[in-house]
Amino acid sequence: MAGKKITCIILTAAFLLAGCNSKTDISISSTESTSGSTTATTTAASSESTETTTVPAATTTTEAEQKKFEFNPHLMTPTLLPDIPQDYWDSFHNLCDALREGKNTFECSSKEAYEWATDPVTLTELFPAACNKVKNESDDGSKPFENGVGRIYYTIPIEEYLERQSAFEKYITETINKYVEYDDTDFEKCLKLYDYMERNFSYETFPGGGDGANYYTIMNHTGVCNELASVYSYYLLQVGVEAFHVGCFDELDHAWTYMVIDGKGYYSDPTWSLISEGEDLPLYYFIMNADRRVESGCPVDDLTLPLLPKYWLSRSKSTFSADDDSLLFPSGSFMQSIDEEKKVIRYQDIDKIDHEFGYANY
């Protein structure tokens, strides 16, 4: 595990050099106020006074009867099982359950599973409110892991942590239910959350401090490529789309998201499409295959993958691909509207010529 001893702040710095009604045809003018709430334990409030979206927000005339997303504390990425075995995930999920109850111990399969589950990187990627608020090193001489039991060392009072976790879960569930409908396809979930992030997040350096990088980015809507890619992945996991963030160190140091849509892998870059209010959503970087990612200056032959115990994909046993080009939009494509009944995206090219893209078969 020594190769992964990277704190939330260090990981951020490593990438810093790299940014309604029923489903009918909706125009681009939809604007809604922020649904997130703040509490005394959530010191980082959203820097945006409103949240906007091109894609229709998830509201219906029968909203009370519509099934809603609930907060999922048991996130995982099956693609990485060759390197992160099931007992690691089970141990991590035991940790998450214990944290939500304010417990001091959790069942854990091994010392290695304990170290991965409590690593700051694992926490910031998959359980953001706990990053920097718990640690895996003892101050009282007790053994962090012994006889199948892992210890939790809180850096703040437990009651304060429980309030923080509860407020965070409330914010996450409100956000995803505002922008995504439970019966959306994987493609629609990816597009709606991409639109949400591009319109409401900005590129700013994580200032450090007591919060983990991803928690800060979620609550303040600011971050660099590393946090933006990871937070987009986190939101996708919350709505049932497998995703994790990857990156490269080459002439360009950058991070982006890998996501799985209907069994096929794609890259998505939530940094390079950030827009200002009133602008149309660019679609070129929304879905990319490996060739497009390489053409944009980001090599994919030796990717970084923070969730992996050894950090680098080349050192792992996990494999994944991004070869499909059936969902790619042309360069200079800008979102105009989505017709969810007909499964059609309407967009304009750089010359303002209208086009349609049907996604019913994906």
Exposure on the CB side of residue 70, measured as CA atoms within 13 A:
3
pLDDT of 22 reads: 35
103-112, long-range: CB within 8 Å, 24+ apart, which pairs? Answer: 103/152, 104/151, 104/152, 104/154, 105/149, 105/150, 105/151, 105/152, 106/149, 106/150, 106/152, 107/148, 107/149, 107/150, 108/145, 108/148, 108/149, 108/150, 109/148, 110/145, 111/145, 112/1, 112/88, 112/309
Cβ–Cβ under 8 Å, residues 119 and 84: no
Cβ–Cβ under 8 Å, residues 210 and 164: no
Cβ–Cβ under 8 Å, residues 222 and 116: no
313-319, long-range: CB within 8 Å, 24+ apart, which pairs? Answer: 313/246, 315/3, 316/80, 316/82, 316/83, 317/82, 317/83, 318/79, 318/80, 318/81, 318/82, 318/83, 319/82
pTM: 0.86
334 by DSSP, 3-state: which? strand
Cβ–Cβ under 8 Å, residues 213 and 124: yes
pLDDT of 50 reads: 58
- Measure CA 69 to chain center: 16
pLDDT of 11 reads: 42
Partners of 25 in the β-ladder: 339
pLDDT of 24 reads: 35
Residues 251, 288: Cα–Cα separation, whole Å = 20
Show me where the domains of the chain are located: 2-36+186-358, 78-161
pLDDT of 65 reads: 60
Question: Could you tell me the two tokens for 25?
Answer: 């045809």
Cβ–Cβ under 8 Å, residues 222 and 201: yes
State the maximum Cα–Cα separation within the chain, in Å, rounded to a whole number.
Answer: 68
pLDDT < 70 regions, the chain: 1-50, 52-53, 58-65
**DSSP-derived secondary structure letter, 147:** T
Q: At which residue do the structure tokens 């990156």 appear?
A: 247
- Measure CA 134 to chain center: 21
pLDDT of 56 reads: 73
Q: At which residue do the structure tokens 């105009």 appear?
A: 336
Query: Rg (Cα) of the chain, in Å, rounded?
Result: 20
pLDDT of 59 reads: 54
